[in-house]
Structure 1
């Protein structure tokens, strides 16, 4: 994130996204993994920015844009076919479980 970026309440910015100086991600908006927002760009409320485009909820092009990101690879290091969701999510759960298990003995401070 560059300087003077504004993230509205409930905004989400996923792995490897780059937000240029002065960019705004409005209330409830999502910036998907590997997306780059130019300086002073604006992602409107409740929309999704993917690979340089902004999509409204229900936009028929949104699923294909998300598919192109390769989110499972970026977020979890998993190469899995887009169409095989069950297998992909099983593998994601295994990765996440291992990450959480590594903290099973952490001491809670404060």
Structure 2
């Protein structure tokens, strides 16, 4: 874990959304992952039948746009070099593929 404070900020948002929905933070995390564009499946592991049932229930949980936006904002990783440098020095020359990494709104 590189940034423990950031980790707990993510957990806090997961738990807040879960409390508001009456579900576990784990369900929220799994539902968020299932809704990510590049994710086609998840591997889950459980120590108990209750935990397995809780995890499986995430498949039927649909997060709102605002909930997804909150999770995206708090979990978005920082832009690493050379990408942050390119944003400062070559942004005007970015093509469509480069703009995927554009995080200037952060």
Structure-1-length-normalised TM-score: 0.23
The structure whose Rg is larger is 2
Q: TM-score, normalised by structure 2?
A: 0.23
The structure with the largest helix share of the pair is 2
